[in-house]
């Protein structure tokens, strides 16, 4: 896989994962891609269920892939939707577990170059933390 050199490239990986999203109920497809310090990339997409509460967000799916892949932290996450929104509250908390200072890039699928950038710390100023 090509190394990631820019936010737009990480967003492109999120966009690719978004194509596989399973969102028959909301129609709202989300793709996420996490990059680690070593350059590894883990992706996720949202997966809905007819039991709506079981739905998994793309960001949390990407974190699950990160942990399953043997990594524990990431430096950036890219998220692509058709609105360019930032991750939901529960995903912010879930991401905060692994690096509060990670960069967050969000973009609309139609225009990955017009992304917005922030950090998880900015999105979740007072995260819940055990043992801190
Ligand atoms: N969703 C995500 O994947 N990430 C978010 O940050 C918010 C929402 C998904 C869940 C559901 O499948 C669809 O978007 C509509 O809420």
At 3 the pLDDT is 74
Task: List, chain by chain if needed, residues with CB within 6 Å of any ligand 1 atom.
Answer: 23, 26, 28, 30, 46, 48, 55, 57-59, 87-88, 91
Q: Note the pLDDT of residue 131.
A: 73
Closest residue by CA, ligand 1 atom 9: 57
User: What is the reported pLDDT for 4?
Assistant: 82
State the distance from the centre of ligand 1 to the C-alpha of 81, rounded, in angstroms: 9
Ligand 1 atom closest to 61 (CA):
3
pLDDT digits (tens, 9 = 90+) for 56-89: 999 999 999 999 999 999 999 999 999 999 999 9
For residue 33, pLDDT beyond 80: yes
> Which pLDDT score, from 0 to 100, does residue 132 have?
62
Residue closest to 83 by CA, chosen among 24, 26, 30 = 30
The set of long-range contacts for 87-92, using a CB threshold of 8 Å and a minimum separation of 24, is 87/57, 87/59, 87/123, 88/57, 89/124, 90/57, 90/60, 91/57, 91/59, 91/60, 92/120, 92/123, 92/124, 92/127
Q: Residues 9, 48, 59, 97: which is the catalytic one?
A: 59
Residue nearest to atom 7 of ligand 1 (CA): 88
Residues 6+ away with beta carbon under 8 Å from 117: 7, 103, 104, 105
Tell me the pLDDT band of 5, cut-offs 50, 70 and 90. Answer: confident
pTM of the model: 0.97
Structure confidence at residue 1 (pLDDT) = 62
Domains of the chain: 7-117 (3.40.140.10)
Over the chain, what is the mean pLDDT?
Answer: 96
Mean pLDDT for 34-42 is 98
> Whose CA is closest to atom 2 on ligand 1?
57
Residue 2 is predicted with a pLDDT of 67
DSSP H or E segment with residue 36: none
CA torsion sign for 18, 20, 26, 32 is negative
Q: At what angle do helices 7-18 and 58-68 cross, to 10 degrees?
A: 100
Average pLDDT over residues 20-49: 98
């Amino acid at each position: 896989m090509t190394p990631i050199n820019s936010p737009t490239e990480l967003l492109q990986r999120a966009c690719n994962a978004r194509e596989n999203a399973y969102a028959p109920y909301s129609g709202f497809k989300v793709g996420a891609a996490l990059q680690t310090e070593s350059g590894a990339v883990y992706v996720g997409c949202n997966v809905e269920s007819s039991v709506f509460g079981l739905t998994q967000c793309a960001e949390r799916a990407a974190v699950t892939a990160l942990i399953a892949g043997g990594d524990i932290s990431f430096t950036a996450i890219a998220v692509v939707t058709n609105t360019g929104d930032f991750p939901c509250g529960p995903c912010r908390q879930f991401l905060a577990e692994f690096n509060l200072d990670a960069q967050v890039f969000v973009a609309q699928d139609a225009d990955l170059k017009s992304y917005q950038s922030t950090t998880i710390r900015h999105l979740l100023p007072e995260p819940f933390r055990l043992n801190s």
